[in-house]
Amino acid sequence: MTRETVNVEPLQAVKFYQTGTFTVGNRLLDEAQRAVQANMRRTNSLNSGHRACQGCGEALGARYAIDAAMQAAQRRVIAVNATGCLEVFSTPYPETSWQIPWMHSLFGNAPAVAAGVAAALKVKKRGDVKVIAQGGDGGTTDIGFGCLSGMFERNDDVLYVCYDNEAYMNTGVQRSSATPPAARTATTMSVGPHPGNVFGTGKNVPLIAMAHGIPYVATASVANLRDLEAKITRAMGIGGARYVHVHVPCPLGWGSDPADTIKTARMAVESGLFPLFEAEAGEITARYRLRKPVPVEAYLSLQKRFAHLFTPQRDDATIAAIQSIADRNVRRFDLA
Amino acid sequence: MLEQIEGSLAIAKAIALCRPEVICAYPITPQTHIVEGLGAMVKSGALEHCEFINVESEFAALSVAIGASATGARSYTATASQGILFMAEAVYNAAGLGLPIVMTIGNRAIGAPINIWNDHSDSMALRDAGWIQLYAETNQEAADLHVQAFRLAEELSCPVMVCVDGFILTHAVERVDIPTQAQVDAYLPPFEPVQVLDVDAPVSIGAMVGPEAFFEVRYLQHHKQQRALGLIPRLATEFREQFGRDSGGLVRRYRTDDAETIVVALGSVNGTVKDVVDAMRDEGHAIGVLTICSFRPFPLTEVRRALAHAKRVVVLEKSLAVGLGGVVSDGVRKALSGIVLHGHTVIAGLGGRAITRKSLRELFERAERGALGQLEFLDLDWNVVEREIARTRRKRRAGPTAEAILRELGTVASQIV
Amino acid sequence: MFQVRIHGRGGQGVVTAAELLSIAAFAEGRHAQAFPSFGSERMGAPVMAFCRIDEREIRLREPVMNPDALIIQDPTLLHQVDLFRGLAPSGFILINSSRSFHELGLQDFVSGFPADHLCTVPASDLALEHVGRSVPNAPLLGGFAAICGQVRIDSVTTAIRERFTGRTGELNAAAARAAYDRVVRQRTQAQSDADHAHA
């Protein structure tokens, strides 16, 4: 008995708003296009019961990322976690919210430990099992940087996901090399003639990853969770060293409203301060063109860590300096 | 099969026979020849089913081993001196996680001042991290201990350090009986992990443990080492039965039964001491030597049993607890608790200073005469020391000590020792 | 126990010489221990290597303080380094040189030594001639076999051929044998000179 495929046109033309964000509701999309999180059979790899703060961007990002990875890998993923918020809030002794094999070793060695896991799997001919390493910005851009570069250079078969909340949040909001200029942290207080973090040269780890020529690099944000899932899925289909850098607001450290986590993340993207792009073998292959550009103020004003730029009086010079960073990103990454 | 072979290569061959699955290496003198040997074996295909990874630091090396071991692969690395310090965090981590990694330490001094020659300061710096520490007296023992180490590590689920004197053993070419694959396979079964990252049975490894449970977890590590006190001799006995020679064990006694003076030492210096002991025995001196092979766990009972009847004990050690004195002698004193005898600590060989028969003979005779202090420094040049002390007293900004002494010594290369 | 100390400069194969000597002794069923003394490792710096040979297991781990034989691979060390320190009064000295002990200015120092314990052999020249590189260690080992008979020349050439495979091994072995022959002749001459002197 044969079956014919029949094309069924919708009975009513539906105008989709906010195209490209899939916020119209997964049920109206092809199954293949639906979010992993919309699937009743999602793995809940990072299960409920963890101790993250209300509105934690990292918990949101990790949940989406790992479940997407699990779907892509037929539920065979081992995760290695650096010390940090995610590690601490996901494993409050004696509980764990991880439903996948998961290991925490040290702060600075997640890339190397993951490389070891990958090597063991290779030797045991378990090419079906995939390895993900996870760390915050502290563990990735600072203390784990050497190991990260080693992993890139060897092209170890590991997907490294960095959840960037722009400071050492777990230890009390201290500055990291990912902390943006002018931001208040516990070690860059908003006092004195130059309040907040310095205007340094910055450390763009996605670009550094690209400079290593690894197979896949992407930036993502909890502002666009479907995009995050898609990038993780794409990464899971590629072998070798891969790096995804996810922007995740931290309401506690940023002084933002927990209800505004996704909005804050979206302002970072639409202002140009956090460009979204993908790259393969060192060349950018896709970028998100700003759909509704906003001035940086729309982003900064949502966060108390930048409050000193607005009160007691506006610091136009600093806001302008931050704006020029955003403008440069728009030019450099062709976001307009 | 008997081979005339460099110590490092003998160790590499022994490790290869243990069917390691992941080897990660960062170069540091004097362990380089070991990992180079293993690397060549993997690359040529002589050592199969093994991933050899060149890492970017010692910290990465042990971290790779941690990940591999947690995934159920038999893992190995090697380091020395500055390298073991650079990976210090990971050393504690591996022990705390109970991962049966085997690591060779090519014993070398720790800087500053930078020094590439042999002493025990590196392994001693990490003696309390929870790793089992075994010290090899000869290259034969160095090779054999690695075979025993994998077995020991995997039975206990505890990492093991095999300590081999840098240059003195690692770079010496001597006769070693390399076992056959069949012999090693009969002694060392495949790795069956206590805990493993497995997609079919997920576990979380490495969570934070607070005051409510940390103490018990840490105590259980200590308990594991107490178990090792029983397992190490059993494995050594089994080794003797299978391979036909004595290697390893907790301690080794040489002519101590009726000795009045007993020397205690770790590692290769025991060979030189034995030659001196024999010469002195020929002249009627009642002297013997106790070799400690297992330094962690420290074999308190065996040491006590071996030394209790002696009149005097001379602990000859290549490690200095700056500000206190001996390191090994602390353990020996603990073992002799309650027993009254003359105990002497002799610090020797630091930074590769040669330990000669002549100096040892003089030292032991002084001990017999009761002319030895509680803490002595063998062949320390007191003139140099006194001149330097005087120099630094003369003015505040006297400049670095090491460089000043070297300037005084003149051309080092023209000296024999 | 027979103890050998080899002096040379970095790059002259001093360490290899000690190892090959130990391998030759091993091949003859004896125990041997070879190890280097590490100073700065750059090319041209004075280096030493040691080799002990014995019928029984060698437990001693100190540098060779009292050599029974010295091999001096580089005569420019002669008046710079205390090469002869600890040498036994009837020890053997083999120097890489085409000049005699007298010409090297050593006659006073070696006056008490048996004449056939003192040999020079132009090892660098022999190496250059046979192998094309003036690395003197292989010929000196041949000379060593001749001067004191601690190892047979065949054991030396076998060890050389195993270490340096193919043509290089053959050429080095030939250089060793050439040096061996020279030293044998030199010793025979020295012995006959001594006999004549006594006669």
B2-243 domain in CATH 3.40.1280.10? no
Q: Do A103 and B67 touch (CB under 8 A)?
A: yes
**Which residues of chain B are under the pLDDT cut of 50?**
none
Q: Do B204 and A103 touch (CB under 8 A)?
A: yes
Sheet with strand B102-107: strands edge to edge: B51-54, B22-25, B75-79, B102-107, B160-165, B132-135, B294-296
What is the distance between the alpha carbons of residues C66 and B111, in angstroms, rounded to a whole number?
A: 32
pLDDT, residue C44, reads 81
pLDDT, residue B414, reads 59
pLDDT, residue A179, reads 97
pLDDT, residue B217, reads 94
pLDDT tens digit sequence for A135-173 = 999 999 999 999 999 999 999 999 999 999 999 999 999
Check: CB of residue B174 under 8 Å from CB of residue C32.
yes
- Rounded to the nearest 10°, the torsion over CA A67, A70, A74, A78 is -160
Q: State in words which class domain C2-198 has.
A: alpha beta
pLDDT, residue C41, reads 55
- Give the residue carrying structure tokens 């302002």: A267
B389 or A31, greater pLDDT = B389
pLDDT, residue C46, reads 87
Q: Do A105 and B97 touch (CB under 8 A)?
A: yes
What is the distance between the alpha carbons of residues A141 and B276, in angstroms, rounded to a whole number?
A: 57
Domain ranges in chain C?
2-198
Q: Is the pLDDT of residue A46 over 50?
A: yes
CA-closest candidate to residue A251, choices A56, A60, A51: A56
pLDDT, residue C81, reads 81
3-state secondary structure of A292: coil
pLDDT, residue C111, reads 87
The residue-averaged pLDDT of A259-284 equals 97
Chains with 3 or more CB pairs under 8 A to chain C: B
The residue-averaged pLDDT of C154-172 equals 96
Task: For residue B124, give both structure tokens.
Answer: 């001693």
DSSP notation for B32-99:
HHHHHHHHHHHHHTSS-S-EEEE-SSHHHHHHHHHHHHHTT--EEEEE-HHHHHHTHHHHHHHHHHT-
The residue-averaged pLDDT of A51-64 equals 97
CA-closest candidate to residue B351, choices B389, B319, B388: B319
What is the distance between the alpha carbons of residues A278 and B210, in angstroms, rounded to a whole number?
A: 41
In Å, how far is B99's CA from the nearest CA of chain A?
A: 11
C34 touches chain B (CB under 8 A): yes
pLDDT, residue A26, reads 64
Contacts of A99 in chain B (CB under 8 A): 202
Check: CB of residue A145 under 8 Å from CB of residue B99.
no
Mean pLDDT of chain A: 93
Query: Which residues are registered as beta bridge partners of B292?
Result: B251
Sheet with strand B261-265: strands edge to edge: B251-254, B287-292, B261-265, B312-317, B342-347, B375-377
- Taking residue B216's Cβ as centre, other Cβ atoms within 10 Å add up to 10
pLDDT, residue A1, reads 42
pLDDT, residue C193, reads 87
Q: How far is CA C15 from CA A171, B31, B315, C1, in A?
A: 54, 17, 33, 20
Q: Are strands B342-347 and B2-6 parallel, antiparallel or unpaired?
A: unpaired
Percent of chain C surpassing pLDDT 70: 97
Report residue A213's pLDDT band, with 50, 70 and 90 as the boundaries.
very high
Q: Is the ipTM of this complex over 0.85?
A: yes
Q: Do C34 and B357 touch (CB under 8 A)?
A: no
pLDDT tens digit sequence for B322-355 = 999 999 999 999 999 999 999 999 999 999 999 9
Cα atoms in the Cβ-side hemisphere of radius 13 Å centred on C169? 12
What is the distance between the alpha carbons of residues B248 and B95, in angstroms, rounded to a whole number?
A: 21
Q: How far is CA B126 from CA B55, B84, B129, B376, in A?
A: 22, 8, 5, 24
CA-closest candidate to residue B34, choices B178, B174, B170: B170
Q: Is the pLDDT of residue A278 over 80?
A: yes
Q: For chain A, what is the total number of helices (H) and then of strands (E)?
A: 11, 8
Report residue A16's pLDDT band, with 50, 70 and 90 as the boundaries.
low
Domains B2-243 and B251-377 share a fold: yes
Q: State in words which class domain B251-377 has.
A: alpha beta
Percent of chain A surpassing pLDDT 90: 87
Contacts of A46 in chain B (CB under 8 A): none
Q: pTM for the full model?
A: 0.94
Q: B300-304: long-range contacts (C-beta < 8 A, 24 or more apart)? A: B300/B331, B300/B334, B300/B335, B301/B229, B301/B335, B302/B250, B302/B251, B303/B251, B303/B264, B303/B331, B303/B332, B303/B335, B303/B336, B304/B335, B304/B336, B304/B339
Check: CB of residue C95 under 8 Å from CB of residue C173.
no
What is the distance between the alpha carbons of residues A122 and B176, in angstroms, rounded to a whole number?
A: 33
- Give the residue carrying structure tokens 């065996």: B302
B94 or C193, greater pLDDT = B94
- Which residues have CB under 8 Å from C166's CB, separation 6+? none
Q: Do A119 and B64 touch (CB under 8 A)?
A: yes
Minimum-distance CB partner of A93 among B65, B201, B208: B208
Domain ranges in chain B?
2-243, 251-377, 382-414
> What domains appear along chain A, each with residue ranges and CATH number?
37-332 (3.40.50.970)
